[in-house]
């Protein structure tokens, strides 16, 4: 498992990475550190002001679950990423564990404040 974070200038993953999550995943699959992989699954979570993309990659030797999130820290936008990798032969036994790890990632602050409720 690896994790990282860096300050970025863009205000959303759609702006910085692309709005079509499948296209983003396919681009990333072609550039995996362990070699070209197939995109198994791509999903986005924008609920509660979150901006998160998650990808599953199946390579010849490695399988990977990769999550990127854009969170705000004060006035800065911080790109966070978490990657869980395992040999492809162990993927079926590790996949649920990796999904639990990814689901536990909860940014402390949403990217944007929720819109105020409309007055009646």
pLDDT (tens digit, 9 = 90+) per residue, 56-100? 999 999 999 999 999 888 899 999 999 999 999 999 999 999 999
- Displacement of CA 58 from its chain's centroid (Å): 16
pLDDT for position 104: 84
In a domain, 95, yes or no: yes
Report how far residue 77's alpha carbon sits from residue 7's, in angstroms, rounded to the nearest whole number: 6
**CATH code of the domain covering residue 65:** 3.40.1000.10
Residue 62 within a domain: yes
Could you report the per-residue pLDDT of 15-32, keeping only the tens digit for each? 999 999 999 999 999 998
Nearest in space to 53 (alpha carbons), one of 16, 87, 95: 16
In a domain, residue 78? The reply is: yes
Q: Containing domain of residue 52, as a range?
A: 2-103
CB atoms within 10 A of CB 52: 21
Non-local CB neighbours of 45 within 8 Å, separated by 6+ positions:
52, 54
Token pair in block for residue 57? 């990659």
Is residue 116 situated within a structural domain? Answer: no
Residue 35 lies in a domain: yes
**Average pLDDT over every residue of 30-38:** 90
Within a domain: residue 115? no
In the chain, DSSP assigns E strands to 2-8, 37-45, 52-59, 62-73, 76-87
User: What is the C-alpha separation between 42 and 25, in angstroms, rounded?
Assistant: 6
Q: pLDDT band at residue 110, thresholds of 50, 70 and 90? A: low
Domain count along the chain? 1
């Amino acid at each position: 498992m690896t994790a990282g974070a860096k300050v970025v200038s863009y205000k959303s993953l759609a702006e910085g990475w692309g709005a079509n999550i499948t296209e983003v995943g396919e681009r990333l699959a072609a550039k995996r550190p362990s070699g070209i992989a197939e995109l198994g699954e791509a999903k986005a979570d924008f609920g509660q002001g979150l901006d998160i993309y998650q990808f599953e990659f199946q390579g010849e030797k490695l399988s990977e679950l990769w999550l990127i999130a854009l969170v705000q820290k004060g006035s800065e936008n911080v790109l966070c990423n978490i990657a869980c990798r395992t040999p492809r032969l162990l993927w079926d036994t590790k996949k649920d564990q990796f999904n639990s790890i990814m689901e536990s990632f909860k940014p402390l602050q949403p990217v944007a404040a929720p819109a105020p409720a409309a007055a009646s």
